[in-house]
Structure 1
């Protein structure tokens, strides 16, 4: 199994981020196919109120690196990755790894 992890840093405007993420980005991303599982996480402050390093995370599980590459190369994958600059004002990091 291969996992694509998308880590979003804290946006400059959380309300604008959440609106765009829910109403524009997720509908675009939902057109991507080939993943076995998808999880979306919104991070909370630690018990001591420390702000987490990241604001949100999206995780996509694929059967193989080839399946991930096919999804990312598709028009839907290109639209999804191309849309990140439209709302991820705090920056975004993409990581790919093997699930052990």
Structure 2
């Protein structure tokens, strides 16, 4: 497996962005890279770097997901209570499924 320098990768990614009409395979062929998958990975990695991370506000908690329309927990105690209720519900659901209901 061939190793490519960071500068070379940046050059390929820049070329891809500058030539919007070319796909991964065309860019790979242009630079003599054996696999278009390699070019795709470099571009995806570059896109992830460019995305700014949303700033977290003070006191803001991170939740996987809440049903739409539900207010976000305002305190850690509310979040814990919600989590405990969610876990109890899921445990009950699993128990009912094991019983065959």
Rg larger in structure: 2
Q: What TM-score range do you get, normalising by the shorter chain?
A: under 0.3
| TM-score normalised to structure 2 length | 0.23
Looking at secondary structure, tell me which structure has more strand per residue: 1
Answer 1 or 2: higher relative contact order, Cα 8 Å, separation at least 6. 1
Looking at secondary structure, tell me which structure has more helix per residue: 2
